[in-house]
Chains A and B, each alone.
Chain A
């Protein structure tokens, strides 16, 4: 009984921690972007502006909960929740340290891929139910982008699965003792990360919301807390992809013993998060057809090649 209660406490703790990190990322992104753009960013509320997040949250909670009269109400309300749910569920399989983690699932990787496909529904339904042409275009772009990038996101991970011989995330981390997978699986690492950016719809792949073209894309009609869910969902998505990259390619919690495992995990994860932000500060946005061409004509064949070569080598050396 006490075990179950402890585990429930752990799960709640992880969830709260993640939401806190995602909210903190709003501040982190605004400050680091500002740093790279020769300006200050939010620096007035609290120490270095850290309470900006609280101010933003208060604002967003007290905004009118507006549903446009022309929208499809039920779907409009459910859509942002789907995004939050699918991303938070994905975190269930992430092993933060040997002790911290929600479940130890033997198909952890497949569960993650499944959940990230599920997230695409949120965007498509949000755009569709808004009944706005900009949202619709955004949703259509999102659907095509996310579904195509899902294909080789999965494929790019097969090399990791072959090397570790398991879909279990913990086994994958343990298999990296001595050599992290980003060395033998460098191609897979790059492809997974690119697909991850496309999945989170971040610049340079923020085509579904492309501000200068589509105003705000699929969430143009959203405001208040429902917009807040998309907003925090975006940061949760960044955290998720960073955590997954860390787990799958950078040895998760592994690292020299002078720091506890959770620190190693967080350090690696935040390095990727900062990289996400740096990308946003530096790159323009390709057109959606260019993104699709890159996906199907370059990344897809490369990930197939990666699977073939890794498979052949694994067989040959009987690893």
Chain B
């Protein structure tokens, strides 16, 4: 079978401009803006083994880039990343924009492109023609400028001092007035006056600063419009000013329940760019810590989800158990929620003495607790009445809307990146991929509960089979480098000096790396132009598409069901807004 690149070249001789080689070895094609819709709909609908998921859509401001290579002229580049489940591979289509920053919207092909295009519009100022609702999504409505443009300041100190004169205050307050038309909401339905309920940004049921404008007919939900961006910290912009090494702590906070799991895709992407091979022991340590954090994150979800449905106690039990996980994490990493413990080329330190006993104790203790929780939560008949058959979506819908992780597996589709595209040695582990059947709230819960048991299995295998050897690669780009030889030969001394003072200089190129994180597939798309900072850091988070799907699965249910749906989706607002 001819590969997809040659198929596309034959099919769209005018549309495809060139082919790019990337470090992640994804087929990467430059396409012309006019034919992007036909190329993408061909890939989605007509191609053999189609690319059915719009995995990511983002942009790059190319104006300040060194080492661009032989690529089409471009001021802004739009990047479409698609995933084919049949092929088990990604494809990346890049569209150069030169004079005009306008491109046709692909919302007709993938409705899930809606929020992604709004994000690109918000952060880059690129307009999408034919987009149904092109307004800012992360930044406030009154924001001036588009933050991810290279000309936009990255620090407050680069901007004029903040002032709030009366006129500005009035304008800001006027902008906060709720006008249903701006949200695409109509006031009435079949002569019935509907009620708008403003849920959040401060509300006990939203788990973070999320605002939902809910349109209610009695207690029945007619419409939900999420308003996100309250938790936006400009993580991608920060990636462009922090050194490759000093950005690691920021990744911890992108999905703040995942801890070191967030470092994982980032350091792997940097290692791919730098060509660093990570020693086996470091790989297994990384897996072990990630799985510990998967358990801790799922415990938070478990307790708060039960809390959303009115159960008071589970959250206390589960936070106690999470505390036990944190005790282990603290003993190994020295910090609890955000250890920032992975390093480019390995991990910070070797495992401490006695780590095995600590973890083994937990492995012996935890399964009994999980069984207890099953009896308390999952088998409770009121809990079932609140979750079975609520917030259903099918596998096809999940793929259409870019859902990954437990949300996708709950629909009955067995797709786990740890199995399908193993990274860091996951292929050596034995574990099952739990799936659901109906794709309702109960199945999503069941999948996560079972995942905790599987994580325990993985951790047990790590404990039993932890290889000896270095915990850090001795590649010159490892940061901070192994100290051992620095006082013996000049070469390592120089590397050490430069990597610690400047930070490593990563060779030009681009790479994408993703992991099966707690909430779904979390990926980092890094572009280096041969500098000590990344040229573009794109963080593809699982919560963003999940949040986009919430309104669709909440319609027709009632207000209490909305809380069950929000809880079962298991998003983290920092993961949505970045």
A residues near B, CB below 8 A? 33, 36-39, 133-134, 137, 203-204, 206, 210-213, 215, 280-290
Contact = CB atoms under 8 A, between A and B. Distances in A.
Contact of A38 (B195, B219, B306, B320): B320
A203 B310 contact: yes
Contacts of A133: 195, 197-198
A134 B380 CA distance: 28
A133 B203 CA distance: 14
Nearest to A285: B310
Contacts of A33: 312-313
B441 to A, nearest CB: 12
Interface residues of B, number: 30
Contacts of B316: 37-39
A212 B205 contact: yes
Contacts of B385: 286-287, 290
Interface in B517-540: none
B561 A284 contact: no
Contacts of B560: 210, 213, 285, 287-288
Nearest to B218: A140
16 contacts: A137-B219, A203-B312, A210-B310, A212-B309, A212-B563, A213-B560, A213-B562, A283-B382, A284-B309, A284-B311, A284-B380, A285-B309, A285-B311, A285-B382, A286-B382, A288-B560
Given A36-B313, A215-B204, A285-B386, 10 more contacts: A38-B316, A133-B197, A137-B559, A212-B205, A213-B562, A282-B311, A284-B383, A285-B382, A287-B385, A287-B558
A282 B309 CA distance: 12
B195 A287 contact: no
B308 interface: yes
Interface of B: 195, 197-198, 203-205, 219, 306-313, 316-317, 320, 376, 380, 382-383, 385-386, 558-563
A281 B376 CA distance: 11
Most B CB contacts (10 A, CB to CB) among A137, A203, A281, A287 go to A287
B382 A204 contact: yes
Given A213-B559, A290-B385, A283 B204 contact: no
Contacts of A280: 312
Q: Of B195, B197, B203, B309, which is in contact with the most chain A CB atoms at under 10 Å from its CB?
A: B309
B85 to A, nearest CB: 36
A283 B204 CA distance: 19
B317 A37 contact: yes
Contacts of B204: 211-212, 215
A86 B306 CA distance: 34
- Of A33, A133, A283, most B-chain CB atoms within 10 Å: A283
A138 to B, nearest CB: 11
Which 10 A/B pairs are nearest by Cβ-Cβ distance? Answer: A285-B310, A37-B316, A212-B205, A284-B309, A284-B311, A284-B310, A287-B560, A212-B308, A284-B382, A37-B313
A215 B386 CA distance: 19
Contacts of A213: 205, 559-560, 562-563
Contact of A287 (B308, B311, B313, B561): B561
Which of A33, A134, A286 counts the most chain B CB atoms within 10 A? A286
B386 A284 contact: yes
Contacts of B310: 203-204, 206, 210-212, 283-285
Greatest chain B CB density within 10 A among A213, A280, A285, A286 is at A213
A49 B474 CA distance: 58
Contacts of A284: 306, 309-311, 380, 382-383, 386
A39 B239 CA distance: 41
A211 B386 CA distance: 16
A280 B317 CA distance: 15
A215 B559 CA distance: 12
Contacts of B311: 282-285
Nearest to A282: B313
Of B310, B316, B317, B560, chain A has the most CB atoms within 10 Å of the CB of B310
A276 B109 CA distance: 55
A36 B558 CA distance: 32
A283 B558 contact: no
A62 B203 CA distance: 26
A282 B561 CA distance: 20
Nearest to A281: B313
Contacts of B320: 38
A38 B306 CA distance: 17
A286 B386 CA distance: 6
B312 A288 contact: no
A73 to B, nearest CB: 24
A35 to B, nearest CB: 11
A215 B206 CA distance: 11
A315 B378 CA distance: 47
A281 B313 CA distance: 6
A222 B385 CA distance: 32
B60 to A, nearest CB: 41
B483 to A, nearest CB: 44
